[in-house]
Structure 1
Amino acid sequence: MLKRHPLDAVIIGAGVVGAACAHQAARAGLRVAVVDRGPVAGGTTGAGEGNLLVSDKEAGPELDLALLSNGLWRELAADLPREAEYEAKGGLVVAPDETTLTALRGFADRQRAAGAEAVEVAAGELRELEPHLAPGLAGALHYPQDAQVQPAQAAARLLAASGAEVHLGEEVTAVLLDASGAVRGVRTPRRDLLAPAVVNAAGTWGGRIADLAGVHLPVLPRRGFVLVTEPLPRVVRHKVYAADYIADVASGSAALQSSAVVEGTPAGPVLIGATRERVGFDRSLSTEALRRLAAQAAALFPVLAGVRVLRTYHGFRPYLPDHLPAIGADPRRPGLLHACGHEGAGIGLAPATGLLIAAALTGARPPLDPAPFRPDRFARSAPDTPEEQR
């Protein structure tokens, strides 16, 4: 006689991706538990800006996932409270010269062919969209589908709406296996949670959860800083960033990279990002990263040069070498699924990730081809630096 589990799945991670997986699984009629070593949104989600971006995605699997998520976020926004600060503000990618603008046009043409909306803005029209932009820019591409959300609030609301059994402050110490090697649940210092499926939504710790299950997933942390200004009148209307941000997102370099990403918030402060560097889990403050961000933001918006920065924060993006997340069932370990490695795009890609995971759990037809996100696509290799082994 088959033993019936009280749960259909255990989701490891209470960030926005784990919350979205729980939300979509519940909508599919599944009973799930969510377990996290810390609080809701205590990792990458809580350190994010809340980007829901189409604009920075090259045509291909990630853009397809982003477009699906974009529509899902719009649907979810109707049920989110005002505190979640969902705002369909649109994005503006600016070019300093004609050479860069020509490259952006080609990038946007490929995105449009995949279903994204992108409208070229001439230099003389930029001030109509952003009155405080620096003069002398060659032009820009406007992406009306780009949006923003307060990530911690969004994660908390999705998790609450799922009705999942939630266990916070409990680190998963083992992935439990049956005699055949299939997953049968997880162990924490307080309890065993039994289920025929486990979803690894542990963000930057996704590689360690994979190790516990006896499989390899090369998730590495990629550190990033954000500056938060004093509250201001709405001096920045869209999410505005320099075109070199797109190259930084696609880069695999471990060195410090920075490119200005500037946006206002409903509460008043302006958020300024974004840096990227692979330094393991080093949480020390980088004055060089902060200096670069401040200088680049002031170059884009001179009005910010005299504005006070009230605080900074930083976190770690879960990086995978090919810049695509791992989503779906792991054929190397029956019952194990992954939903991690989204790098800086996890908040934007969370709803579609949840939908793919729910389809994999129920055997339903997936909303798009999951093959590019296969968790077993990486050959085993040594970490790049000693710090990344820790």
Structure 2
Amino acid sequence: MAEQGRVIVIGAGIVGAAIARSLVRSGTEVVVLDRGPSAGGTSSGGEGNLLVSDKGPGPELELMQRSIQLWSEIGPQLRDELPAGFPGLELEHKGGLVVATTEAGAVGLKQFAVQQRTAGVVAEEVGADRVRELEPDLTRDFVTAVLYPQDAQVQPVVATESLLASARQKGAQVRQGVEVLGPVLSKGRLTGVRTSDGVVNGDAVVVAAGPWSGQVAAALGAPVPVKPRRGTVLVTTRMPQRVWHKVYDADYVGAVGSGAADLQVSSVVESTAAGTVLIGSSREQRGFDDRIEARVLAALAAKALLLFPFLKDVAVMRAYGGFRPFMPDHLPLIGPDPRLAGLWHATGHEGAGIGLSLGTAEVLSQHLLGAAPAAENPFRVDRPSLRPHLEDAA
């Protein structure tokens, strides 16, 4: 779709918000639809990570590197576009510290860091004295630590609302409480959607519904293998800051890249601007079962104490969970669907959607508006690594 027209974006989370803003700034008419409130799904259940530390060389890392650059640029733009007093993004270039507590973990961490450096990631192996400077309260019982100064964080709900507010100012419509029920077709092309609030017509439809994208795409006649992957986070009471970076154990990278459905827990600990400490991270495939279970909370707490023993005396204020949009080949889905003209996808980012949202919006906008050839898109629907899973989803 090289010409500018009307685009329907399904999903008012951070990916849909970023796409809406990108398209409307190009002069495209945009309508955003969501069956719930904006930022009401995955975007509200994450930590706001912008991480290079957990990604090996390849397309996803490159997209994150571009996204981090865009995050640094967009803050001043939003301050100029939005009313005075609108909350800021809370962008923190806090850096990440990855810690191996076993010899085997240390070998893997060092090898992974070497690979990342070839792709432009700053991965600095740091000794015990430097670690004590970076994180005075970190356990002394570790083998190796690697510092990733490029890792950053935003407040995901505020970021989503900021992107949507910017898109609205440029003319985008955002309709909440509107559920997509099925397609509107004309001569084999998708020309709109049937919703709980009537028909919405458009020249293209972008599915950006996070872990619910599989359901939405199936309703439109082109299933994709996006599945929910459950995660849970503990939140402590407020305290003077004692954790200065995003700190996690080396097992986290393996958990991110795993396709296993059973419960996996690795330690991820970081402070927030509000003075709390967030403790993750769990991964489990169990559909849209949203129960928070004691077994998961206990496993998270036990892992966190291995990194920061002082947490044993800190009260937990609450716990929350969410669903990540999991893809079987661990790559996001960004681009047109060759099975149905007019249908586009922007989903499958799993736990990296906050960070990758701006880069995703740039990629999708460039291809939707005809500014980039489809062959150059590694996230396309018909990529070889995804084809068998598309057949299974059909």
The change in CA–CA distance for 1:29 and 1:61 in structure 2 (over 3 A counts) is same
- The answer (yes or no) to whether the contact 2:10–2:207 under 8 Å persists in 1 is yes
Aligned match of 2:68: 70
Q: How does 1:221-260 map to 2 (within 5 A)?
A: 221-260=228-267
Q: How does 1:111-130 map to 2 (within 5 A)?
A: 111-130=116-135
Please tell me the root mean square deviation across aligned C-alpha atoms, in Å.
Answer: 2.0
Deviations 1:292-317 (A, max 9, x none): 11111111011111100000000111
Aligned match of 2:149: 144
Q: How does 1:93-108 map to 2 (within 5 A)?
A: 93-108=98-113
Q: How does 1:158-237 map to 2 (within 5 A)?
A: 158-163=163-168, 164-178=172-186, 180-237=187-244
In structure 1, what residue type is equivalent to 2:338?
P
Deviations 1:230-270 (A, max 9, x none): 01111100000000000000001000000011000111000
- The answer (yes or no) to whether the contact 2:336–2:380 under 8 Å persists in 1 is no
In structure 1, what residue type is equivalent to 2:91?
Y
With normalisation by structure 2, the TM-score equals 0.92
Aligned match of 2:83: none
> Which runs of no fewer than 5 residues in structure 1 stay unpaired?
384-388
Q: How does 1:376-387 map to 2 (within 5 A)?
A: 377-379=386-388, 380=390
- The answer (yes or no) to whether the contact 1:94–1:243 under 8 Å persists in 2 is yes
* SS of alignment partner, residue 88 of structure 1: coil
1:299 is aligned to 2:299: no
* SS of alignment partner, residue 49 of structure 1: coil
Query: Structure 1 runs of 4+ off > 6 angstroms?
Result: none
| Mean Cα deviation higher: 119-128 or 243-252 | 119-128
1:330 is aligned to 2:337: yes
The change in CA–CA distance for 1:154 and 1:106 in structure 2 (over 3 A counts) is same
Distance 1:212 1:360 in 2: 24
In structure 1, what residue type is equivalent to 2:387?
F
Distance 2:8 2:159 in 1: 20
| Aligned mate of 1:349, from 356, 361, 371 | 356
> Which runs of no fewer than 5 residues in structure 2 stay unpaired?
80-85
* SS of alignment partner, residue 360 of structure 1: helix
Distance 1:264 1:378 in 2: 41
Distance 1:140 1:189 in 2: 52
Distance 1:375 1:213 in 2: 18
How many pairs are equivalent?
A: 379
Distance 1:307 1:369 in 2: 50
| Aligned mate of 1:26, from 24, 27, 34 | 24
Distance 1:381 1:181 in 2: 20
* SS of alignment partner, residue 145 of structure 1: coil
* SS of alignment partner, residue 23 of structure 1: helix
Distance 1:255 1:339 in 2: 26
Distance 1:242 1:27 in 2: 41
The change in CA–CA distance for 1:366 and 1:146 in structure 2 (over 3 A counts) is farther
Deviations 1:323-378 (A, max 9, x none): 11110111111111100111111001000000011112210127994134435633
In structure 1, what residue type is equivalent to 2:43?
T
Distance 2:357 2:174 in 1: 18
Distance 1:337 1:230 in 2: 42
* SS of alignment partner, residue 231 of structure 1: coil
Distance 2:71 2:147 in 1: 19
In structure 1, what residue type is equivalent to 2:58?
G
Distance 2:347 2:14 in 1: 11
- The answer (yes or no) to whether the contact 2:53–2:148 under 8 Å persists in 1 is yes
Identity %: 50
| Mean Cα deviation higher: 373-382 or 329-338 | 373-382
